[in-house]
């Protein structure tokens, strides 16, 4: 899951990026409000962690302007401003969650997962499509109750497809889900990962839409 972290404090930003990476997130880190707004409008992230006291442009202004621009991704505001009026304003302007520093990294990760899940209309923590179940918190996958071992990229790809089950995702969209900044994307990387997933989970699960991308059908009529 790829998220954007907007935090100007070098030490905290570094810690949050490292911690969220440990918990399976792909993290892009920006240090000012202008950059945060630019990236949120340009790229597709699963969610964003936004500090309010950002240089150049206050986090609240960033939030207001991306919402105005039609960006709907879940935004978690992480700030030192703990006053109730601040919280209310943050949520009203368009934050999906409001967390006061300091925060436990596991809690932050859980909140982010919950935000992403809800943004995709999933009520439960575990995603399940056909006979495949995926637990984002434990980063585990089972097929018909049997555990399946996936690499980090394969997991992220499957997670993205399952979150968007019934929708077609282009190769570029999938790449954005899988790679953060500075990570080399090989030209056929997605094809390779899809190939591996089909080998591990069966060929029927992921369908190719030629010239468009890949999709995962919610329910497939079982062959008789």
Partner 1 sequence: MKMPRSLQGRLLRLVLGLVVGVWLVTAALTWIDARHELDELLDSHLAQAAALLVVQQAVEIDDDRRGADAPTLHRYAPKVAFQVFHEGRLAQRSSNAPAEPMLEFTGHAADGFKTISIGETAWRVFAAHGRERDVQVFVGEQMESRDSILWAVLRSSLGPMLLALPLLALAAWWAVHQGVAPLRLVGRALAQRSPQALQPIAVEGAPSEMTPMLDALNGLFERIAQLLESERRFTADAAHELRTPIAAIRAQAQVALGAAADAERLHALQATLQGCDRATRLVEQLLTLSRLEAGAEHVLVAIDLTALARQVVADAAPLALSKQQTIEVNAVNPCTVRGDATLLSVMIRNLVDNAIRYGPSGATVKLAVSNAQGVVKLILEDSGPGMSSDDMERLGRRFFRVVGSGQEGSGLGWSITRRIAAVHRAVVRVARSESLGGLSVEVSFPA
Q: Which residues bind partner 1 (CB under 8 A)?
A: 9-12, 14-16, 18-19, 22-23, 32, 55-56, 80-82, 100-106
What six digits make up the tokens of 180? 């953060």
Interatomic CA distance for residues 30 and 97, integer angstroms: 19
Report in angstroms how near the CB of residue 155 gets to partner 1 at its nearest. Answer: 16
- What is the distance in angstroms between the CA of the first residue and the CA of the last residue of the chain? 36
- For 119, residues 6+ apart whose C-beta sits below 8 A from its C-beta are 47, 72, 73, 74, 96
Is the peptide bond between 5 and the residue preceding it cis, with omega within 30 degrees of 0? Answer: no
Report in angstroms how near the CB of residue 36 gets to partner 1 at its nearest. Answer: 13
189 and 142 Cβ atoms separated by less than 8 Å: no
Helix (H, G, I), strand (E, B) or coil at 191: helix
Report in angstroms how near the CB of residue 61 gets to partner 1 at its nearest. Answer: 13
| 9/131 with CB nearer partner 1 | 9
| 14/191 with CB nearer partner 1 | 14
Report in angstroms how near the CB of residue 180 gets to partner 1 at its nearest. Answer: 16
Report in angstroms how near the CB of residue 14 gets to partner 1 at its nearest. Answer: 6
119 and 95 Cβ atoms separated by less than 8 Å: no
| 23/137 with CB nearer partner 1 | 23
| 2/81 with CB nearer partner 1 | 81
Pairing of strands 26-30, 47-50: unpaired
| 18/212 with CB nearer partner 1 | 18
What six digits make up the tokens of 17? 């990026």
| 99/165 with CB nearer partner 1 | 99
Interatomic CA distance for residues 217 and 189, integer angstroms: 22
Q: What angle do CA 215, 49, 213 make, to 5 degrees?
A: 15
Report in angstroms how near the CB of residue 80 gets to partner 1 at its nearest. Answer: 4
């Amino acid at each position: 899951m790829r998220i954007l972290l907007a935090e100007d404090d070098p030490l905290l930003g570094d810690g949050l990026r490292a911690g969220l990476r440990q918990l399976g997130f792909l993290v892009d880190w920006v240090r000012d409000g202008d950059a945060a707004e630019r990236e949120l409008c340009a790229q597709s992230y699963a969610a964003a962690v936004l500090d309010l006291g950002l240089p150049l442009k206050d986090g609240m202004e960033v939030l207001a302007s991306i919402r105005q621009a039609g960006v709907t991704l879940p935004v978690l505001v992480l700030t030192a401003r703990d006053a109730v009026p601040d919280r209310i304003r943050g949520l009203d302007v368009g934050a999906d969650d409001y967390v006061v520093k300091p925060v436990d990294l596991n809690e932050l990760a859980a909140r982010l997962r919950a935000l992403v899940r809800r943004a995709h209309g999933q009520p439960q923590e575990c995603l399940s499509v056909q006979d495949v179940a995926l637990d984002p918190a434990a980063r585990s996958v089972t097929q018909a109750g049997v555990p399946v071992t996936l690499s980090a990229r394969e997991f992220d790809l499957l997670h993205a497809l399952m979150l968007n089950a019934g929708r077609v995702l282009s190769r570029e969209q999938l790449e954005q889900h899988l790679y953060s900044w500075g990570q080399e994307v090989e030209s056929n990387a997605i094809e390779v990962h899809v190939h591996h997933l089909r080998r591990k989970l069966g060929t029927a699960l992921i369908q190719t839409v030629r010239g468009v991308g890949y999709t995962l059908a919610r329910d497939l009529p079982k062959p008789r």
